[in-house]
Amino acid sequence: MKHSSLVALKVLVWLACLAPFGWLVWGAATTSLGPDATATITFATGRTTLRLLAITLAIAPVRKLIPKLTWIIRFRRLLGLFTFFYATLHLLTWVALYAGFDVNRMATDVVKRRYITAGMAAWLLMLPLAATSTNWAIRKLGGKRWNRLHQLIYLAAVCGVVHYWWQVKTGVLTPLAITIVIAVLLLARPVLNLAQRRRPRPAEA
């Protein structure tokens, strides 16, 4: 891929990733976030986190399936960090608009409310990944250790989806679509690995 088209694509991805945030800022400025603004912000940041997480998780299997697209790896860090950005906004929504910065209430929520426990776990699992996203950190840790650490994202994804299911009312199926997408992306990994191992080498064929 040419350098200029890569730069153009990066700009586009940045804009696309910032769009949900821009929409919220615009809505807050014009007080047009719907009847329940707090709920709108909570849902928008949570949903964007899971969607970006799904896109980030899709990078590796897509590269394996379509060798022509190997260059998309250059976008994974960007997407991963935006996932963390929205997860952090989502967390801050709870800290500020729900708990009102009351540490006691937050502690009670984390202990008593399992959907908050799961959500908090997901964010904490992503924290070291965001912290070690620099080239310097990769060099310092070494590729192998860095890769192993970043497998935490699978656990974070599971916690994120569980968090969503535990938050909705019993019987409400809204989380189903994103659950299927993330489940497929997680299962694609062992399946593709297995397929690759079984594929006979050209010399043996």
d(CA 165, CA 158): 11
Judged by CB under 8 A, the stretch of 44-52, 110-118, 123-131, 154-162 that binds another protein is: 110-118
Which position among 2, 4, 100, 103 is part of the footprint of another protein (CB under 8 A)?
100
Q: Which residues contact 2 (CB under 8 A, 6 or more apart)?
A: none
Assess 171 for contact with another protein (CB under 8 A): yes
88 contacts another protein (rule: CB under 8 A): no
Pick from 2, 35, 101, 199: which binds another protein (CB under 8 A)?
35
Q: CB–CB of 60/189 below 8 Å?
A: yes
Q: With H, G, I as helix, E, B as strand and everything else as coil, classify residue 96.
A: helix
Q: CA-CA distance, 121 to 156, in Å (whole number)?
A: 7
Q: How far apart are CA 150 and CA 131, in angstroms?
A: 11
Q: Closer CB to another protein, residue 104 or residue 196?
A: 104
Residue 33 makes contact with another protein by CB under 8 A: yes
In the complex, the residues that contact another protein under the rule CB under 8 A are 28, 31, 33-39, 41, 97-98, 100, 105, 108-109, 112-115, 166-167, 169-174
